[in-house]
Amino acid sequence: MKKLITGATGHFGALALAHLSTLVPTSEIVASARNPDKAADIRAKGIEVRKGDFDDQALMEQAFTGIDAALIVSAEADNETRIRQHRTAITAAKNAGVKHVIYTSVIDPRADSGFTYAAIHADTEAFIKQSGLSYTILRNSFYADLLLGGVPHALETGQYAAPAGDAGITYIPRTDLAEIAAIVLANPAKHTNKTYDLTGTKAITHSEIAAIIASATGKNIAFADLPNDVYQGILRSLGLPEHAVIAISGIYLAAKNGDYNTVSKDAATLLGRPPQSVEDFLKQALNQG
């Protein structure tokens, strides 16, 4: 039973690969990467590496040849490009005879979401479901890891800034989500045509997050609620493409509309333990320096 992970040289793919290696023999694992030269450490573990790029259907069909189950990690691009890329990957999987696909979607994937990338995931989910492939959809909530991005500014200014108001968001550590993906990929038949809502243990506000960072660092840090246009200006000044500026700021718009505040037990059920809380995640990350 061969299992493939796309985006194996990305953060999520690498973590999923590491977790999967603890669950099944490495001889059953194949890693797909756009640039196999970046995958020397994967090969060194005895894992086969194949070149794969969602922009090239023939290449993806080769990558998927002989594969029984594949974790398709969503790509990073504007909506139109990514919808096309994901459809290409699913079509290639089907043509190559893959039996089961697992896809990293997002929580609350709706075409009309304030989080504009949600429309990509809504399209890919629908495309998978109409493909006839056996599937598992992992609706990942937002990575707790993203919260570390605002820490240097908070340490400098005393302000943990985001346009979040008092919205609660069910952040969850990326490594827990990757472990779940590996658990499903290790035994896909147990998760046939299931859709999981993978959230953290609670919906946490940015005031609470600021208080955790203050406590973990011993600094005087408070939440600063930014106007959306100011936040978008900061993202632009960091060089982010416009689609990412709109999407990332849109996370907070959606959250203020009540998305992302519903806790699901799916993550704990699949992990066999609760995911790490945001508080423990941040304390651990900040204490590691």
Ligand X SMILES: NC(=O)c1ccc[n+]([C@@H]2O[C@H](COP(=O)([O-])OP(=O)(O)OC[C@H]3O[C@@H](n4cnc5c(N)ncnc54)[C@H](OP(=O)(O)O)[C@@H]3O)[C@@H](O)[C@H]2O)c1
- Residues of this chain that interact with ligand X (CB under 6 A) are 6-7, 9-13, 33-35, 52-55, 73-76, 85, 104, 106, 140, 142-143, 146, 174
Type of residue numbered 125: E
Least gap, CB of 75 to ligand X (angstroms): 4
Least gap, CB of 37 to ligand X (angstroms): 10
Cβ-contact 116, 249 below 8 angstroms: no
Least gap, CB of 73 to ligand X (angstroms): 5
Q: Which is nearer to ligand X, 222 or 285 (CB)?
A: 285
Q: Which is nearer to ligand X, 222 or 268 (CB)?
A: 268
Cβ-contact 184, 102 below 8 angstroms: yes
If one counts every other C-beta atom within 10 angstroms of the C-beta of residue 269, the result is 12
| Residue 36 Cα to chain centre, angstroms | 21
Q: For residues 183 and 185, give the distance between their C-alpha atoms in angstroms, rounded to a whole number.
A: 6
Residues in the chain: 289
Contacts of 78 (CB under 8 A, 6+ apart): 241, 243
Q: Which is nearer to ligand X, 115 or 135 (CB)?
A: 115
Least gap, CB of 14 to ligand X (angstroms): 8
Least gap, CB of 83 to ligand X (angstroms): 12
Q: Which is nearer to ligand X, 76 or 80 (CB)?
A: 76
Cβ-contact 138, 177 below 8 angstroms: yes
Q: For residues 36 and 7, give the distance between their C-alpha atoms in angstroms, rounded to a whole number.
A: 10
The pair of three-digit structure tokens given for residue 259, joined into one six-digit string: 């998305």
Q: Which is nearer to ligand X, 59 or 212 (CB)?
A: 59
Q: Which is nearer to ligand X, 215 or 261 (CB)?
A: 261
Residue that the structure tokens 């056996």 belong to? 134
Least gap, CB of 113 to ligand X (angstroms): 13
